[in-house]
Structures are given as C-alpha cells and as structure tokens.
Amino acid sequence: MKNSIIIANWKMNPATYGEAEKLVSNLLPGITRNKKTKVVLCPPFVWLNSLSSKFKKSISFGAQDVFWKDGGPYTGEVSPQMLKSSGVNYVILGHSERKIYLGETDEMINKKLKAALEAGLIPVLCVGEKERNSDGIPAVVGEQLKNALGGIGKNLVKKLVVAYEPVWAISTMPGAKADSPDNAFRALVFIRKILAGLYGRKTAEGIKIIYGGSVSSANIAGFLKEGKMEGALVGGASMDAQEFLKVVRAAGR
C-alpha cells in the first residue's frame, strides 16, 4: 500500500505573513513526528518563498496555480521555474474555484499541466462534477481528465496526483457536504480506468488518487479505508492547526 499524502490548500489565507508563519510553526511538531504520511502545504504565492526558505527542510510546499510560460509579458502570472526557485515541489491545477470564479478552461489547465510536468513539478490535478447525485462522474470527470491530459506522454504523467473533488462537496459552496466513501470509491475506480486506458494499467496504478471536499478529522478515515483513497486535498480544515494535525494523524494510522 502506498503512503498517503495530505495536501493543505490555504486558498487566499491567511491575511498576514505573521499568521502564516505561526500556523506552520504550530503544525511543524506534529508533521515531523508523522513518518507515514506526506504533508504538503500550499499557501498563497506571496508567502511561499519566505515560508519555504524557513521550513523546507521539514515540510514540503506547493503552489495553488502556475502559468504555462517561463517568462514574458504575462502580468501577474508565476512560471514553473519561479516556483522551483522558491523551493516548491507541488502545484494544484484545475481547482473548481478557479474555473467558477476566474474562468479557467480545460485548455488552460492542459497547458499548465504540461508546463508543470516538464519543469519537474508534481501537479495535483483537480477533477469533479458540479451536481450531487448526477451521472457526472463518467460524463464530466472523464472529459476533464482526457482534456487535461491531452498530448502528455507516459513518462511525464507518472508523477501526477489526481484529486477527485466534487464541486458540490467543497466547503465554500452553498449547502456543501462531504461525499460518501462509497461514492468516492466509485470515482476512484472510474478515474483509474480512464488513466489505464490512456497510459496502461501499470502506469495508472502508480498515480495517486486522493479525495477533496469538506475533508475533516471526522471523515478522513472513511475516505482512506472504505473509499480506498490515497490521501486528501484539505481546504478549510487546513487553516486550523489542531484539526489539520488530527487529519494527518488519522491518515498515518
């Protein structure tokens, strides 16, 4: 069994660097004691370099997005090489909040994914349907995966992490409620099938598939055991040091 990975998506939080540093300091002892779970923190761009410089010997860091060019007249964007020089190893791509609020398209996600993989970053590709109890897993998730992975070869895709994060389960969405482990397992099986069709069974089995959407210490065990997920993408709960460490400890068990 692969070791699980827990990824903290801080989104546009916290408001100050002092708060960000304090949060990492509070997390550090619990994270370093846990040897069975890989923990990745994804703060906003503006805090990444300072936090990574101070804590990267103990914690892995990721970014919440990346652009597909290494340089040029792209105001406000951040390149893969900039992330690497800031001590970043992981990058979240295709999060539904970027699709909903910022108009990000499958074509853009595909370009970002290619650029991240070619630069040696480990992308965390988010996929998920908008409506609960719909037939969105085969229809929507399958299309998202195929569009995102278009033109990307087997050698590059081996480092990929896929996060199944149904939009309706994300804590910032109205009426959000975590998915069930059973449904998450169905999604995992389907995603693995799509990956196997694209890259072969052996490569597909090497790609981690994790769950995201209202993850908490109360439900993480179900997603890892019954849902057979290999980790989690944690949003709101990652901003509470005690709660996030409970998630990490549960994943380690």
**Residues taking part in catalysis:** 95, 165
- CA atoms within a 13 Å half-sphere pointing along the CA-CB vector of 208: 23
* 84 burial level (CB within 10 Å; 0-12, 13-18, 19+): middle
Looking at residue 10, the DSSP 8-state letter turns out to be -
Convert 20-79 into a string of H (helix), E (strand) and C (coil): HHHHHHHHHHHHHHCCCEEEEEECCHHHHHHHHHHHCCCCEEEECCCCCCCCCCCCCCCC
How far is it, in rounded angstroms, from Cα 230 to Cα 205? 11
| Cis amide leading into 14 (omega within 30) | yes
CA atoms within a 13 Å half-sphere pointing along the CA-CB vector of 58: 14
Joined tokens for residue 167: 């939009």
